[in-house]
């Protein structure tokens, strides 16, 4: 079904609006996926605060002109879709979905103004989440005083042990 000029313009504006707040964009090729599979992917992305859009490549190329994602216009060829989010969770969801569905291929992406190849997207997907990093930092902050207390108590424990051993000997 062909789009008229007004529909195309509104589609371009909708894509620009999505890209305005986006920090990470993942370009995928989804040839042969069913509607159910695409819906499943969209639902997983929504849980992480992202969205997925299948749009005409020419409209996407027009929409990304003048944005930080402009340099990735060469990735839009064939049946592509764009996964958009503010955080790196979009890369995790896309990578997991690509492993489960061989018809879903990650072409590349962008994080801010840095263009990512498929390997970069995979590396990004393996990074821990912000909550995981915070918990690790808290664990490290708590571990240092705990170890210090253990070290400071060791001489007293050793003195008590020596005293008990000496008392038992006599």
Q: Where are the domains of the chain?
A: 5-127, 128-170
What is the residue-averaged pLDDT of the chain?
A: 84
Distance between CA atoms of 22 and 51, rounded to whole angstroms?
A: 10
pLDDT value at 1 more than 60: no
Distance between CA atoms of 4 and 26, rounded to whole angstroms?
A: 28
Nearest-10 crossing angle of helices 118-126, 89-100: 110
- Taking the mean position of all CA atoms in its chain, how far away is CA 100? 17
Tens-digit pLDDT profile for residues 23-60: 888 999 988 888 899 999 999 999 988 889 888 888 88
In the structure, what pLDDT confidence band is assigned to residue 151 with cuts at 50, 70 and 90? low
Strand partners of residue 27:
82, 108
- Taking the mean position of all CA atoms in its chain, how far away is CA 73? 21
Highest mean pLDDT among 80-84, 112-116, 162-166: 80-84
Q: What is the mean predicted confidence (pLDDT) over 115-143?
A: 83
In the structure, what pLDDT confidence band is assigned to residue 73 with cuts at 50, 70 and 90? confident
pLDDT value at 154 more than 70: no
- pTM across the whole model: 0.71
Distance between CA atoms of 45 and 113, rounded to whole angstroms?
A: 22
| 5-127: in CATH 3.30.70.1730 | yes
- The stretches of the chain forming alpha helices (DSSP H) are 5-21, 35-47, 57-64, 89-100, 118-126, 130-169
Q: What is the mean predicted confidence (pLDDT) over 108-131?
A: 85
């Amino acid at each position: 079904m062909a789009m008229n000029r007004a529909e195309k313009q509104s589609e371009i504006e909708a894509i620009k609006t999505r890209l305005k707040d986006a920090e990470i964009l993942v370009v995928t090729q989804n040839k042969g996926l069913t509607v159910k599979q695409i819906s499943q992917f969209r639902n997983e992305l929504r849980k992480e605060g992202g969205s997925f859009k299948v749009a005409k490549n020419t409209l996407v190329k027009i929409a990304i002109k003048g944005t930080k994602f402009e340099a990735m216009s060469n990735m839009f060829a064939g049946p592509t879709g764009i996964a958009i989010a503010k955080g790196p969770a979009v890369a995790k969801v896309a990578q997991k979905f690509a492993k489960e569905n061989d018809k879903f291929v990650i072409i590349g992406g962008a994080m801010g103004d840095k263009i990512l190849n498929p390997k970069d997207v995979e590396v990004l997907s393996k990074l821990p989440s912000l909550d995981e990093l915070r918990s690790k930092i808290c664990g490290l902050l708590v571990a240092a005083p705990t170890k210090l207390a253990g070290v400071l108590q060791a001489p007293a424990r050793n003195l008590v042990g020596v005293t008990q051993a000496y008392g038992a000997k006599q």
